[in-house]
Chains A and B, each alone.
Chain A
Amino acid sequence: MSTLILNDVSYQYKGAEKQTIRNLSAKFEPSTLYSIAGPSGSGKSTLLSLLAGLDLPKEGTIEFDGKSLSDIDLDLYRRRDIAMIFQAFHLFPLLTAIENVCFPMKINGVPSNEAKKTAKSLLEHVGITEEQSKRFPSKLSGGEQQRVAIARSLASGAKIIIADEPTGNLDVENTHKVMELLKNLAMNEGYCIIVVTHDMEVAKMADVKYRMSGGMLEEVLFYAHCGT
């Protein structure tokens, strides 16, 4: 089971006057959909970087399955243990949908035929047809692209998915579809999904809701209808 534990994590950018993240402790477990909401500048992107192994905390530790990130190969960690999806989807524009999904498998040494077979299965799982899978991202709608991105994140075998404003560029219908998909992955397939969002409606859908403010994370038990 893949678990991320943050112990008193602090981070300060070089030259910054104050810490962007202060004594942050949290636990992210499987089979759970987490949301992290907060205003701009609250440290959400920094937290994402730390969780994704793109940077290391200045103080404290981040542990993945009991091992500190500072003690493991972070490139390997990002290749097989953690996946990210983005507001702007960030699919490879020169690869078709199915090639995008195959990519993480191929870089993990999965043979081409096997990767293709698995990619087809994943795309079907997220609701992308075979015809759509042969298109380039520019020929897919926003919702379709995000679903391909989700399939790609599943392809590496990672059990932790970090989603940075995954519905930011989607309409209401597609927002709902994507969030349902993520919820399903968490609830029924054991994924740990961490969604960073400004959208309160999206934040409310999470099993565990966090609010980030001033570099600190606090759990929110419920959101008021009009509150933040």
Chain B
Amino acid sequence: MNENDIRSSRENVPFKESLSYTFMRIYRSKGKTLIVFALTTFLVGAVGFLAMTMAQYEELFETVKIKTTATGFSSNAIEMMSQSDLGDVVYYQGHMRVIATKDDFPVPLIVTNDTQRYIESIGFAGDVVIESHLALDENIIPNEKPILFMGRDIAKWLGIGLDDTLYLLEEEQIKALQFLYQSEEYLTSIGLADRPYEEILESIIAESSLSFKVVGLIQSNNAELDMSFFAPLHKAVHQINGLKIAFGEEGLPIILDFSEFQLLDNFRIDDYSTLLQEMASQSREDGSLDAKHFTDTSRLYSIAHVRDLLNVFFPIAAFIAIALSVVAIGLTMTQSIKEMALLRILGITANRTRTIFIFEHFFVTVIGTLLAMGFLMFFNIRLFANSASIILLFCVLYLFACSFTSFIASAVMAKKKPLELLQVKE
């Protein structure tokens, strides 16, 4: 043979040939490649699945709704809950009697933040029509004055319509006004005689009473509903609490028939419980409440318990997965001792020999990892997205550990003499 035919190049080992040899190894050593590949896919998939389960429990923990219902809480409780960042005031209702000025007719004043719900709660099954210029959403209730919904019958009886103002006075104030109405002499003595009488009354009433803007009229064919007032309490409670009015004891908050709260932050359930206890103790001086029901929180605690267990177990599982892969790669590397020695004897540099084997394992583990992530995404893309950061962190650590293992193994083998390595039993 012609020497020149063989020695056509004296360059260093072409990188292309090393790469070609590496991929050939991956393809032809099917058994070993498959083992590393399958192991990687399984381990990364299992740990990823665990991460997704953690995310699911985290989500479950945060979305469990803890609602508290109570009867006998006072209007102060509504204020306390509204001003805290622990809970939301979902619903409340109180039921009082108000004496309307016209013919002394008592009508119910229902304090509630959700008229529609109140109507449903009393079991009225007929049609209810609420005429309003506003959407029935307390979030857009005007802040400039308390608002009121009225039954259409009471509105008609009192001659009040939408957007009118309704004044509620206590009994003593009414008597005082009656006296004023009858005593022109008194008006003259206080310098108001030259003003129209109706104007005087209006200004006195406006100053000393609780006024509501009528924002809705209710028609239901239910006698009680159609003769009732409905008012959201918390918008006006600071005014009601300060007045001596017929529908509550002097100066005391209104006692609510029913109230419902919702915990906003499940992580602060203990603070929330403490606040509820405080609200209960402030509701009545004698501490009596008709009934108190707190939502069973055991489910939340169960979920938290599982979530905490998963948080502890995850790093252990991740460590085990990495350890198993490190061992597997170490074993496959030791099976390649003679091949590495042979490559060195044939003149491949130590660095290039190491690179071939490190790259081989890196490539297979990357493909296995990508496949595992593909499976996880296919299983539940939303949960995968929620736990993506922890899964990716694990994958990076995993790939680093595998690559580092093959690097160390090849470095250790490179230190030994190639002829000695050829004698080693695989």
Contacts and interface: CB of A to CB of B under 8 A. Distances in A.
B349 to A, nearest CB: 5
B17 A107 contact: yes
Interface stretch (B1-9, B247-255, B311-319): B1-9
A128 interface: no
Contact of B422 (A86, A107, A155): A86
Given A80-B7, A157-B6, A107 B338 contact: no
Contacts of A48: 419
B342 A90 contact: yes
B28 interface: yes
B161 interface: no
Given A54-B417, A109-B9, A94 B29 contact: yes
B11 A79 contact: no
A76 interface: yes
Interface of A: 45, 48-49, 52, 54-55, 75-80, 84, 86, 88, 90, 92-95, 103-111, 114, 118, 121-122, 125, 154-157, 164
Contacts of A154: 1
Given A49-B417, A75-B348, A94-B28, 15 more contacts: A54-B418, A76-B347, A78-B344, A78-B345, A78-B347, A79-B346, A107-B13, A108-B6, A110-B8, A111-B8, A118-B5, A122-B1, A156-B6, A156-B346, A157-B7
B9 A118 contact: no
Contacts of B6: 105, 108, 110, 118, 155-157
Contacts of B348: 75, 79, 107
A114 B419 contact: no
B195 interface: no
A88 B10 contact: no
B24 interface: yes
Contacts of A52: 345, 419
A90 B421 CA distance: 12
B97 interface: no
Interface residues of B, number: 31
B172 to A, nearest CB: 105
A84 B346 CA distance: 8
B244 interface: no
Interface string B1-42: 101011111111110010001001100110000000000000
A52 B417 CA distance: 12
B339 interface: yes
Given A54-B418, A54-B419, A107 B347 contact: yes
Nearest to A152: B346
Contacts of B21: 103
B422 A90 contact: yes
Contact of A157 (B3, B346, B418): B3
Q: From A114, A122, A157, name the one whose CB has the most chain B CB atoms within 10 angstroms.
A: A157
Interface of B: 1, 3, 5-14, 17, 21, 24-25, 28-29, 338-339, 342, 344-349, 417-419, 422
B119 to A, nearest CB: 81
Contacts of A157: 3, 6-7
Q: From A79, A92, A107, name the one whose CB has the most chain B CB atoms within 10 angstroms.
A: A107
B346 A78 contact: yes
Shortest 7 CB-CB contacts between residues of A and residues of B: A79-B347, A109-B9, A157-B6, A78-B347, A94-B28, A157-B7, A107-B13
A108 B24 contact: no
A54 B347 CA distance: 10
A147 B8 CA distance: 24
A104 B14 CA distance: 12
Nearest to A88: B422
9 contacts: A79-B13, A79-B347, A93-B339, A104-B346, A107-B13, A107-B348, A110-B8, A110-B9, A156-B346
Contacts of A164: 419
Contacts of A107: 13-14, 17, 346-348
A54 B342 CA distance: 11
B422 A92 contact: no
Nearest to A118: B5
B34 to A, nearest CB: 14
A163 to B, nearest CB: 13
Contacts of B12: 76
Contacts of B24: 94-95
Contacts of A79: 13, 346-348
Contact of A114 (B8, B14, B417): B8
A90 B338 contact: yes
B276 to A, nearest CB: 72
A125 B10 CA distance: 25
Contacts of B13: 79, 107-108
A58 B424 CA distance: 25
A108 B25 contact: no
Nearest to A103: B346
A105 B419 CA distance: 22
Nearest to A94: B28
